[in-house]
Amino acid sequence: MKNIRNFCIIAHIDHGKSTLADRLLDYTGAVTEREKQEQLLDSMDLERERGITIKSHAIQMDYVHEGEEYTLNLIDTPGHVDFSYEVSRSIAACEGALLVVDAAQSIQAQTISNLYLALENDLEIIPVLNKVDLPSANPEEVTDDIVDLLGCDPSEVIPASAKTGLGIKEILDAIIHRVPAPSGKVDAPLRALIFDSVYNPFRGVETYFRVINGSIKKGEKIKFVATNKTYDADEVGTLRLKQFPRKEIKTGDVGYLITGIKDAREVKVGDTITSAVNPTTEAVAGFEDVKPMVFAGIYPVDTEDYEELRASMEKLQLNDASLVFTPESSAALGFGFRCGFLGMLHLEIIQERLEREFDMTVITTVPNVSYHAYTNKNPDDVILVNNPSDLPEPSSLNRVEEPFIKATIITKADYVGNVMSLCIEKRGEITNQTYLTTERVELSFDMPLAEIVFDFYDRLKTVSRGYASFDYSPIGLRQSKLVKVDVLLNGNTVDALSALLHVDNAYDIGKKMCEKLKELIPRQQFDIPIQAAIGAKIIARETVKALRKDVTAKCYGGDISRKRKLLEKQKKGKKRMRQVGNVEIPQEAFMAVLKLND
């Protein structure tokens, strides 16, 4: 056990985590020349194209240091804020972390939030200054930033370049000297932490775990603590590029487990594995069910594809257990699903994977968050509002609470004014402002989650010219004055366009919605009124003018009453047409409501 080292790599998006992992694998000989490729651990096409890590990956390396053989377990983590629960479980499975900082971009918001996660778990932090070979790199200044942040010695910061392979040996030596060996009781009952799971269509769910106490043997009966279910360990082994089956995985090591489970919902990340015969009394702390933050409806373009969409979503859920969905129907769009996501990036990725992996073209409705409503009748009973149509009648409503987040934004001093005005416009309250250096400022805000769901991130990048990094964590629910704004087309409510908005913004957004829809809805033979309403009160209106057919063309000469008679007849026809007329809403209209500020 003293020769095992478990470590993870934490960094902001694009600071070179995956490339550094590639170099470590090359250097330790874990990958043969033939298997080499860029971003080796990012196995999904989407990960490669976007250059981001979506799933965490684990891999084992052997390294000989001063004549002794060491086993290094690297757990690569996603860098994006939407996947922070997965990062927290990976960190809980390690004793050390490489904190990678880009020498050109310096410390960003995500770096700091992941660093705090690592410090909470008492991890040994090894600072690595990556990309020192870039012409725009600023090694001395960024080293000072790291020293200020960690309070370490400047000599402890390892300059490296994952692209050229500079500093890789120093990093491996630092892991062996500075990361402590795992501590655990070999003879205690089995206690292992699940930090990830993947779905294999042939063998069921593969569970990745780290043994904290005891050992796990092939063929023994095991139990998952959170779900309280018992299974047989059909196969256990270690994770190289390919899986290596073993008879036993001992204390402190990382491995995979196959039990033939077909339903991914039975394996929860963060759960504890123990022996069914001799169970442990204490589970690994910190387990929680992943809570979706953003909700949106996903509908098939053609209603006949509904069952096919259901099958696709179920398969996708096996690979990504944080996707939650329930069936629902909409008058405008037919049958579909109400889905819960971890954030907007997660929503985008799910939509993209449905299109790529399953050939499903889908319509996504306006994303919103989950609110808590209370009625006057029973003020203590919570009504979960995931969809604007779930909100009780305004007359019976007591109060509504909405989720708030603590947002951390790091930007250059020149853009502080712009960023502040954007956050205040989004109902944010500033709680803290710290100058990290003379040039860089860290701003903290308390903001409603609903306000950042739409276009906040894009606008933040615009007002700061790309020099702002953003990170958030939930801080609970607060009471807010919210109203339901409905959109009526030709007097009929379109449920897919309803939104829950704050009273102060309702009139403004209602007006913008009507203006936007006026541009997008095709003209008919009759006038179409587009209205925004709160309850029975209309707050904004636009009209799509009718296409006029020239019925009087044949009346040349003669009495004016002939023309008038024809126009009266046409008027009656238009009136009747408007009563029975059906207005088609183009797909762009649903998406355009998201981009009201463009």
As given in the structure block, the two tokens for residue 532 are 């925004």
Please state, in angstroms and rounded to a whole number, the distance separating the CA atoms of residues 369 and 412: 30
- In the 8-state DSSP scheme, what is residue 304? G
Helix (H) or strand (E) holding 260: none
Burial (Cβ within 10 Å: 0-12, 13-18, ≥19) of residue 131: buried
In angstroms and rounded to an integer, the radius of gyration of the C-alpha atoms of the chain is 29
Please state, in angstroms and rounded to a whole number, the distance separating the CA atoms of residues 80 and 14: 10
Query: Which residues are documented as binding site?
Result: 14-19, 130-133
As given in the structure block, the two tokens for residue 90 are 């990976």
- What secondary structure does DSSP assign to 505-559, as a single string? HHHHHHHHHHHHHHHHSPP-SS-EEEEEEETTEEEEEEEEPPPPP-GGGG--SS-
Residues in the chain: 598
- What 3-state class would DSSP assign to 179? coil
- What 3-state class would DSSP assign to 387? coil
As given in the structure block, the two tokens for residue 318 are 């096996």
Neighbours of 434 (CB within 10 A): 11
Closest CA to 513 of 480, 537, 545, 539: 539
Q: Dihedral, CA atoms, 260, 261, 262, 264, nearest 10 degrees?
A: -140
561 vs 552, 565, 573, CA distance in Å? 11, 6, 18
Please state, in angstroms and rounded to a whole number, the distance separating the CA atoms of residues 440 and 423: 18
Query: Which residues are documented as binding site for GTP?
Result: 14-19, 130-133
Please state, in angstroms and rounded to a whole number, the distance separating the CA atoms of residues 558 and 236: 96
Please state, in angstroms and rounded to a whole number, the distance separating the CA atoms of residues 152 and 133: 23
Contact in structure between 452 and 383 (CB atoms under 8 Å): no
